[in-house]
């Protein structure tokens, strides 16, 4: 009889409302933790995909840069690079460089300088930076 009474006491404690509320509270905390971890997993997978795309783009840029570097190492490639990058011609070539865009590299030159510009030129001659 004593064993039955002890089992009855244990069952009443386990199935009491307070115990059920505590277990429900722990269940809510457990579910909340799982949802938070799932959100972090989703964010990590998104970041992994973005970094994979970025890495692929960077690898392609490295391949293009090494190809360009290899072509610049040759004399003909260097000349082509310089001519396409800067408006340069060799001596003796009858080349006229025409700039169509208003944002061209060449700016118009004024013939006269103002007094302040002349003073600045003199200042920079005597006091270098």
Q: What are 27-85's pLDDT values in tens digits? A: 999 999 999 999 999 999 999 999 999 999 999 999 999 999 999 999 999 888 888 88
Euclidean distance between CA atoms 1 and 48, whole angstroms:
64
What average pLDDT score do residues 12-28 get? 91
Which token pair is 73? 């190492």
Predicted model pTM: 0.47
Specify the number of domains making up the chain: 1
Residue with tokens 């004593």: 2
129 and 123 in contact (C-beta within 8 Å)?
no
**C-alpha distances in angstroms, 87 versus 76, 80, 84, 98, 104?**
17, 11, 7, 10, 10
């Amino acid at each position: 009889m004593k064993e039955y009474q002890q089992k009855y006491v244990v069952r009443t404690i386990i199935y009491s409302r307070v115990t059920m509320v505590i277990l429900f509270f722990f269940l809510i905390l457990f579910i909340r933790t799982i949802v938070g971890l799932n959100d972090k997993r989703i964010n990590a997978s998104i970041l992994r995909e973005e970094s994979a795309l970025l890495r692929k783009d960077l690898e392609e840029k490295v391949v293009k840069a090494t190809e360009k570097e290899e072509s610049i190492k040759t004399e003909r490639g260097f000349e082509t690079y310089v001519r396409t990058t800067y408006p340069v011609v060799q001596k003796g070539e009858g080349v006229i460089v025409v700039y169509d865009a208003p944002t061209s590299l060449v700016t118009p030159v004024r013939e006269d300088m103002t007094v302040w510009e002349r003073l600045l030129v003199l200042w920079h001659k005597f006091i270098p930076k």
